[in-house]
Amino acid sequence: MKFTLALFSAPTSPASRRALRFAEAALAGGHEIVRIFFYQEGVHGASANLVTPQDEPDLARQWQDFITAHGLDGVVCIAAALRRGVLDGQEARRYARPAANVASGWALSGLGQLHEAVQQSDRLVCFGGP
């Protein structure tokens, strides 16, 4: 089965942990993940400036490592990212901001990427949200 995952919650939320465990189990079960789309507060996980206390799991790092290790498509909604100050180099220059802060392995893109992935998938699974 082909899955697209959408994460709406911050990397510190239980929903982020559940989404990561689901993604790990899906791949372990022989399924495919077409794309992982980070939206709303989920975009904070793509920030290279996020610092997690030593006594808490660093889910943002775990997501980054998971996506890299499995060669997955990790997409961050550009509109949600800009609203929350998560910028890549191109957007930092475009809006004359002093620095980019998107961690490596992430791509900023629009909702069209989510739509395209859903069209290629058997299931869209969403985690978190308002």
**Active site members:** 77
* Amino acid symbol at 42: G
* Cβ-count burial 13-31 (b if 16+ within 10 Å, e if not): bebbbebbeebeebbeeee
CB atoms within 10 A of CB 76: 27
Angle between helices 59-69 and 14-28 (to 10 degrees): 20
Q: How far apart are CA 5 and CA 3, in angstroms?
A: 6
Contact criterion met (CB below 8 Å) for 61 and 48: no
